[in-house]
C-alpha cells in the first residue's frame, strides 16, 4: 500500500505544488529527456567513478522516494526523474567503455597501410582528410605495430590530413592505401574551455591523427567512389567557388568546398546552420516530396476518393527523408533531424497535431539513448534548443491568438506574418546565445534579421533551383538552372558578408563557467517547458548565470598545452602573441578564449610592457594591483645555462616548450614540457585571488583523459 506522505501535516505545504503539477500533467513527460540529459551531464562533469556511483545511487534514492508517493503527481515526477537520472549516467558510462580502443601513446613517424574508411575533400583549403583502418603501422625506428581495439578484432582508426596533390584521384571507401605520416594522439583542448577533440575522438574510435609526409599510394584495383562523393564532385563542377561548395553541402552534406572567409561570414551573421544538413533541409526535402506526391496522386479520381492520400504522401516523404539522410552521410545531426521529421509524419498520419513539444521530447529521448555522448556537443544543444524555443513560443496561447487567421487585408496579414517571423527569430536567438557563447565564445547579434531573409530564400529559391538542376541534368539541360542556383547562392553569401560587417555584429565572451552555463540552461528549460505562472521562476537562475558569466574578467595570460604559444595582455588591454608566425588555428583559439573580436593578434615584440629577443620574451602583466613578471622561450636555441638559472628567481612565471634545468626556480609557476604534460593549456586571470584554469585535471578517470597529452614532436632533443 502506498504511503500517502503528501497528506501528513509535515508535508501539507506541498499541496500547492501537487495542484500545480496536476495542472501541468501534460507537460511532465517533457522532462524525461531533460533528466536523462542531466544524468549524462553529471558523468561528463564529475571526474571519477566515485562521483558517478553517487549520481546513480542518488537517482535510485530519488526514485525510491517517489515510489512511496506514486499515487501523487509529485511522487510520479520524483520516481521518473530518479530513474532517468540513473539511466543517463549509467548509459553514457557503458557507452564509453564499449568504445574502448588503443590510443597512440606518443608522436612518431610511421608508415601506415590499411583501407580507407572515409574521405573528406576540402578543395577550398587544398586539403583532404582520410580516415584509415590500418592493417599495419610501421614506426620509423621500431618493429611493426598492429593496434587492435580492446575486446575485438577491429583496428583503431587513424585520421590523416594530406594535401590534395598528395592523394591520387578516385580514392574512395575501401581503397587500399599506403603512406608515410607523422602521427600523434588525438589532441586535448588547446586552452581551457576549448573544443576537446580527444573526447570526440574516443567516441568516434580514432586512436591517432596525422599529417601525410609524402604522396599517398593507392594499391590494388580502382574503387568506384560512392554516390555521395560523385554527387558532390558533380555539383562543384557545375558551380564554381564557394557557391559550388554551398550547393554541394545542400545536396550531399559535403562542406569542403566552402572558403574559410565565406564560412566565417556565415557564422558571424548567424547563418552557419544553413551549411549543415539539419532540420531545415530535411523539412524542405520531405515537404517537397509530400507536395509533389500528393498533387500527382490527386490527379487520379479513384485514388483521390478511395485512398488516404495524406497518409500515403507522408509515407513517400518519410522514404525520401531517410534516403536524403543516407545520401548526406547519416551524420548524427542529420539522423537526429530525420528522426524528428519521422515522428512529425507519424503524428500527421495518426491525425495528431504536426509538431508539439512531446514530439520534440521523444526525438531527444531517442537520440540520447542511442548516442548519449551527443549531449555535450554544440550541434545537439543548438538544434534542440532552437526547435524547443520555436515550438514552445508558438504553443503559447497568446502567441497562437496573435498569429491566428484574422479577417484583415493582405498588407495587415503580411505585416502580422513578418512580425511573427521576427519574434520567432528573436526567441531563437535568445535561446541559442548562451550555447554559442559557451562553445564558441562568440554569438551573432543580427541572426534573427538575417534568417528572416535567408531561410525563405534558401527553402523556396536555392534548394528548388538545385533540385531542378539535378533533375534536368538527366537530359543534359540543367545548365540554366545551375546558373540561376549559383547566383542565388551568391546573393545568400552577399547577405552573410553584409550582416557580418555591421557594427557589433558579433558578441564575444572569454568564457562561461560550466556552473553558470548550467544555471542558464536550467532556467531556460524551466521557462520553456511549463505553461503556468511558476514558469517565470526560471528567470532567476537564468539571470544569475548570465550575470555570473558577464562579470568574469577576461584572462591575462593564455598558454597552449605544448608551451609553444602564449598570449599576454598588453597595457592597451589587447592580447599580444609570443610567436608572430603562429598558425590560423592557434590565433583563432587564443582570440576566442581571450574574448577578442579581431583574430589578428599583434606580436609581443610590439607591446610596451614586453622586451623580446630572438630566443626569449619578458613581459610585465598587471591587473588590480597584482603584477606578474613573465618569461617565455620562443626558439629551439639553447639559452645560456647560468643566465637562465639566474633569471628564473626574478620571474613569477616561466613558460617553455622544452624541459628547463632543475636550477630554474621562479617565484611562481614553472611551466615547461613536463609540467604542461600534467596541466595542459592554461588560462590565468590576475587579481585577488589569482585564478588559474587548466585543461587536464588531476584524477580525471574519463577514458580519453587517461591517454598522454600531445607532446611536441621534437622528442629526444636537447632541453
Question: What pLDDT, on the 0 to 100 scale, is given for residue 329?
Answer: 67
Q: Is the pLDDT of residue 719 over 50?
A: no
Helix (H) or strand (E) holding 610: strand 610-612
Among 206, 214, 20, 234, residue whose Cα is nearest residue 100: 206
Bigger pLDDT: 595 vs 405: 595
Lowest pLDDT segment from 88-97, 159-168, 228-237, 364-373: 228-237
Among 198, 204, 158, residue whose Cα is nearest residue 332: 204
Q: Are strands 217-219 and 506-508 parallel, antiparallel or unpaired?
A: unpaired
Question: What pLDDT, on the 0 to 100 scale, is given for residue 709?
Answer: 47
What are the tens digits of pLDDT across the range 667-683? Answer: 989 999 999 989 999 99
Lowest pLDDT segment from 203-212, 501-510, 602-611: 501-510
Over residues 241-268, mean pLDDT: 84
Q: Are strands 669-671 and 653-655 parallel, antiparallel or unpaired?
A: parallel
- What rounded mean pLDDT belongs to the chain? 83
Distances from the Cα of 400 to the Cα of 392, 394, 404, 405, 630, angstroms: 11, 6, 6, 10, 60
The angle that helices 378-395 and 279-298 make with each other, rounded to 10 degrees, is 60
The dihedral formed by the CA atoms of 79, 85, 88 and 94, expressed in degrees to the nearest 10 = -100
Helix (H) or strand (E) holding 341: helix 332-349
Sign of the alpha-carbon torsion through 454, 458, 460, 461: positive
Distances from the Cα of 585 to the Cα of 32, 113, 191, 273, 589, angstroms: 39, 29, 12, 21, 6
Question: What pLDDT, on the 0 to 100 scale, is given for residue 467?
Answer: 86
Over residues 164-181, mean pLDDT: 86
Helix (H) or strand (E) holding 232: helix 227-238
The angle that helices 73-98 and 49-68 make with each other, rounded to 10 degrees, is 150
Bigger pLDDT: 145 vs 508: 508
| Sequence ranges of the domains in the chain | 5-98, 108-225, 278-354, 514-551, 557-706
Give the span between the Cα atoms of 535 and 539, in whole angstroms: 8
What are the tens digits of pLDDT across the range 57-103? Answer: 999 999 999 888 666 888 889 999 999 999 999 999 999 999 988 88
Contact assessment for residue 223 and residue 172, using Cβ atoms and an 8 Å cutoff: yes
What are the tens digits of pLDDT across the range 16-28? Answer: 788 888 888 888 9
Give the span between the Cα atoms of 87 and 56, in whole angstroms: 8
Bigger pLDDT: 623 vs 703: 703
Judged by DSSP in three states, 271 sits in: coil
Helix (H) or strand (E) holding 323: helix 309-327
Q: Is the pLDDT of residue 149 over 60?
A: no
The number of beta carbons lying within 10 Å of the beta carbon of residue 659 is 14
Bigger pLDDT: 330 vs 357: 357
The number of beta carbons lying within 10 Å of the beta carbon of residue 293 is 19
Among 529, 539, 540, 527, residue whose Cα is nearest residue 364: 529
Among 375, 359, 379, 377, residue whose Cα is nearest residue 367: 375
> Residue 162 forms beta bridges with which residues?
128
Helix (H) or strand (E) holding 437: helix 410-440
Q: Is the pLDDT of residue 35 over 90?
A: yes
Q: Is the pLDDT of residue 15 over 80?
A: no
Question: What pLDDT, on the 0 to 100 scale, is given for residue 688?
Answer: 79
The model's confidence at residue 302, banded by pLDDT at 50, 70 and 90, is: confident
Bigger pLDDT: 509 vs 481: 481
Contact assessment for residue 407 and residue 299, using Cβ atoms and an 8 Å cutoff: no
Question: What pLDDT, on the 0 to 100 scale, is given for residue 162?
Answer: 92
Q: Is the pLDDT of residue 524 over 80?
A: yes
Distances from the Cα of 42 to the Cα of 48, 49, 66, 88, 191, angstroms: 11, 11, 21, 9, 22
The number of beta carbons lying within 10 Å of the beta carbon of residue 277 is 27
Give the span between the Cα atoms of 211 and 486, in whole angstroms: 34
Give the span between the Cα atoms of 492 and 673, in whole angstroms: 47
Distances from the Cα of 603 to the Cα of 578, 627, 636, angstroms: 6, 21, 18
Q: Is the pLDDT of residue 231 over 50?
A: yes
Question: What pLDDT, on the 0 to 100 scale, is given for residue 80?
Answer: 93
Task: Sort 660 into a burial class: Cβ within 10 Å, 0-12 / 13-18 / 19+.
Answer: buried
Lowest pLDDT segment from 349-353, 456-460, 502-506, 696-700: 349-353
Three-state SS for 278-291 is: CHHHHHHHHHHHHH
Question: What pLDDT, on the 0 to 100 scale, is given for residue 7?
Answer: 53
Bigger pLDDT: 578 vs 154: 578
Locate all alpha helices (DSSP H) within 615-662, ordered by sequence: 641-647
Bigger pLDDT: 546 vs 269: 546
Backbone angles phi, psi at 377, to 5 degrees: -85, 145
Over residues 262-284, mean pLDDT: 77
Over residues 377-388, mean pLDDT: 84
The model's confidence at residue 449, banded by pLDDT at 50, 70 and 90, is: confident
What are the tens digits of pLDDT across the range 122-144? Answer: 887 889 999 999 887 777 665 44
Give the span between the Cα atoms of 552 and 568, in whole angstroms: 17
Question: What pLDDT, on the 0 to 100 scale, is given for residue 716?
Answer: 33
Q: Are strands 127-139 and 206-212 parallel, antiparallel or unpaired?
A: unpaired
Q: Is the pLDDT of residue 568 over 50?
A: yes
Helix (H) or strand (E) holding 322: helix 309-327
The model's confidence at residue 5, banded by pLDDT at 50, 70 and 90, is: very low
Contact assessment for residue 688 and residue 579, using Cβ atoms and an 8 Å cutoff: no
Judged by DSSP in three states, 557 sits in: strand
Backbone angles phi, psi at 710, to 5 degrees: -65, 130
Task: Sort 401 into a burial class: Cβ within 10 Å, 0-12 / 13-18 / 19+.
Answer: exposed
Backbone angles phi, psi at 667, to 5 degrees: -65, -30
Contact assessment for residue 29 and residue 358, using Cβ atoms and an 8 Å cutoff: yes
> Residue 128 forms beta bridges with which residues?
121, 162
Task: Sort 354 into a burial class: Cβ within 10 Å, 0-12 / 13-18 / 19+.
Answer: exposed
In CATH, what is the architecture of 108-225? Beta Barrel (2.40)
Over residues 311-321, mean pLDDT: 84
> Residue 148 forms beta bridges with which residues?
155
Contact assessment for residue 490 and residue 243, using Cβ atoms and an 8 Å cutoff: yes
Bigger pLDDT: 444 vs 119: 119
Q: Measured in Å, how far apart are the chain's first and last C-alpha atoms?
A: 73
Lowest pLDDT segment from 187-196, 452-461, 542-551: 452-461
Give the span between the Cα atoms of 439 and 435, in whole angstroms: 6
Question: What pLDDT, on the 0 to 100 scale, is given for residue 532?
Answer: 86
Helix (H) or strand (E) holding 616: strand 616-623
Lowest pLDDT segment from 148-152, 604-608, 689-693: 148-152
Instruction: Look up the pTM and report it.
Output: 0.86
| Cβ contacts of 308-313, under 8 Å, gap ≥ 24 | 310/348, 310/349, 311/348, 311/349, 313/289
Give the span between the Cα atoms of 463 and 281, in whole angstroms: 9
Question: What pLDDT, on the 0 to 100 scale, is given for residue 519?
Answer: 95
Give the span between the Cα atoms of 292 and 301, in whole angstroms: 16
Amino acid at each position: 500500500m502506498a504511503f500517502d506522505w503528501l497528506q501528513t501535516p509535515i508535508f501539507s505545504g506541498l499541496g500547492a505544488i501537487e495542484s500545480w503539477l496536476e495542472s501541468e500533467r501534460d507537460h511532465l513527460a517533457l522532462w524525461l529527456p531533460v533528466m536523462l540529459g542531466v544524468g549524462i551531464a553529471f558523468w561528463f562533469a564529475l571526474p571519477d567513478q566515485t562521483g558517478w556511483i553517487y549520481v546513480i545511487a542518488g537517482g535510485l534514492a530519488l526514485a525510491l522516494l517517489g515510489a512511496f508517493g506514486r499515487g501523487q503527481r509529485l511522487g510520479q515526477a520524483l520516481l521518473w526523474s530518479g530513474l532517468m537520472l540513473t539511466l543517463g549516467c549509467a548509459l553514457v558510462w557503458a557507452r564509453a567503455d564499449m568504445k574502448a580502443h588503443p590510443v597512440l601513446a606518443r608522436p612518431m613517424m610511421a608508415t601506415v597501410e590499411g583501407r580507407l574508411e572515409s574521405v573528406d575533400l576540402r578543395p577550398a583549403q587544398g586539403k583532404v582528410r582520410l580516415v584509415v583502418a590500418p592493417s599495419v603501422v610501421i614506426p620509423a625506428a621500431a618493429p611493426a605495430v598492429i593496434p587492435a581495439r580492446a575486446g575485438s578484432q577491429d583496428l583503431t582508426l587513424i585520421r590523416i590530413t594530406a594535401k590534395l596533390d598528395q592523394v591520387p584521384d578516385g580514392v574512395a571507401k575501401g581503397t587500399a592505401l599506403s603512406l608515410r605520416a607523422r602521427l600523434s594522439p588525438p589532441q586535448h583542448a588547446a586552452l581551457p574551455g576549448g573544443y576537446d577533440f580527444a573526447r570526440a575522438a574516443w567516441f568516434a574510435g580514432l586512436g591517432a591523427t596525422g599529417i601525410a609526409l609524402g604522396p599517398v599510394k593507392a594499391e590494388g584495383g580502382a574503387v568506384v567512389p560512392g554516390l555521395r562523393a560523385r554527387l558532390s564532385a558533380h555539383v562543384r563542377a557545375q558551380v564554381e567557388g564557394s557557391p559550388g561548395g554551398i550547393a554541394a553541402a545542400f545536396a550531399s552534406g559535403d562542406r569542403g568546398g566552402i572558403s574559410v572567409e565565406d564560412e566565417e561570414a556565415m557564422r558571424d551573421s548567424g547563418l552557419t546552420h544553413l551549411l549543415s544538413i539539419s532540420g531545415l533541409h530535411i523539412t524542405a526535402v520531405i515537404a517537397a516530396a509530400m507536395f509533389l506526391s500528393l498533387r500527382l496522386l490527386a490527379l487520379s479520381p479513384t485514388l483521390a476518393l478511395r485512398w488516404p492520400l495524406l497518409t500515403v504522401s507522408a509515407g513517400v516523404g518519410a522514404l525520401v527523408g531517410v534516403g536524403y539522410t543516407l545520401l548526406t552521410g547519416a551524420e548524427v545531426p542529420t539522423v537526429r533531424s530525420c528522426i524528428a521529421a519521422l515522428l512529425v509524419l507519424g503524428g500527421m498520419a495518426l491525425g495528431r497535431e504536426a509538431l508539439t513539444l512531446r514530439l520534440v521530447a521523444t526525438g531527444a529521448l531517442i537520440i540520447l539513448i542511442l548516442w548519449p555522448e551527443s549531449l555535450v556537443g554544440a550541434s545537439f544543444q543548438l538544434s534542440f534548443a532552437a526547435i524547443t524555443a520555436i515550438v514552445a513560443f508558438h504553443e503559447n496561447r497568446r502567441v497562437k491568438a496573435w498569429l491566428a487567421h484574422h479577417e484583415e487585408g493582405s498588407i495587415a496579414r503580411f505585416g502580422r506574418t513578418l512580425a511573427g517571423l521576427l519574434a520567432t527569430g528573436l526567441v531563437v536567438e535568445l535561446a541559442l546565445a548562451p550555447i554559442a557563447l559557451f562553445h564558441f565564445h562568440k554569438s551573432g547579434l543580427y541572426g534573427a534579421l538575417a534568417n528572416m531573409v535567408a531561410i525563405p530564400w534558401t527553402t523556396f529559391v536555392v534548394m528548388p533551383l538545385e533540385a531542378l538542376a539535378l533533375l534536368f541534368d538527366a537530359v543534359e539541360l540543367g545548365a540554366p538552372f545551375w546558373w540561376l542556383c549559383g547566383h542565388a547562392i551568391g546573393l545568400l553569401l552577399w547577405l552573410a558578408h553584409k550582416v557580418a560587417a555591421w557594427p557589433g555584429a558579433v558578441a564575444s565572451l572569454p568564457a562561461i563557467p560550466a556552473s553558470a552555463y548550467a544555471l542558464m540552461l536550467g532556467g531556460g528549460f524551466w521557462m520553456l517547458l511549463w505553461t503556468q505562472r511558476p514558469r517565470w521562476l526560471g528567470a532567476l537562475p537564468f539571470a544569475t548565470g548570465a550575470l555570473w558569466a558577464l562579470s568574469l574578467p577576461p584572462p591575462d595570460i593564455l598558454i597552449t598545452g605544448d608551451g609553444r604559444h602564449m598570449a599576454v595582455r598588453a597595457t592597451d588591454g589587447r592580447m599580444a602573441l609570443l610567436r608572430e608566425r603562429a598558425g590560423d588555428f592557434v590565433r583563432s583559439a587564443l582570440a576566442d578564449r581571450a574574448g577578442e573580436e579581431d583574430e589578428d593578434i599583434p606580436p609581443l615584440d610590439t607591446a610596451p610592457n614586453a622586451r623580446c629577443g630572438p630566443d626569449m620574451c619578458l613581459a610585465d602583466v598587471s591587473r588590480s594591483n597584482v603584477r606578474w613578471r613573465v618569461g617565455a622561450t620562443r626558439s629551439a636555441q639553447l639559452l645560456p645555462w647560468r643566465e637562465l638559472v639566474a633569471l628564473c628567481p626574478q620571474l613569477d612565471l616561466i613558460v617553455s616548450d622544452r624541459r628547463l634545468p632543475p636550477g630554474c626556480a621562479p617565484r611562481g609557476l614553472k611551466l615547461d614540457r613536463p609540467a604542461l604534460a600534467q596541466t595542459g593549456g592554461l588560462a590565468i586571470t590576475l587579481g585577488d585571488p589569482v585564478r588559474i584554469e587548466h585543461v587536464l585535471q588531476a584524477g580525471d578517470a574519463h577514458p580519453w583523459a587517461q591517454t598522454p597529452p600531445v607532446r611536441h614532436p621534437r622528442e629526444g632533443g636537447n632541453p
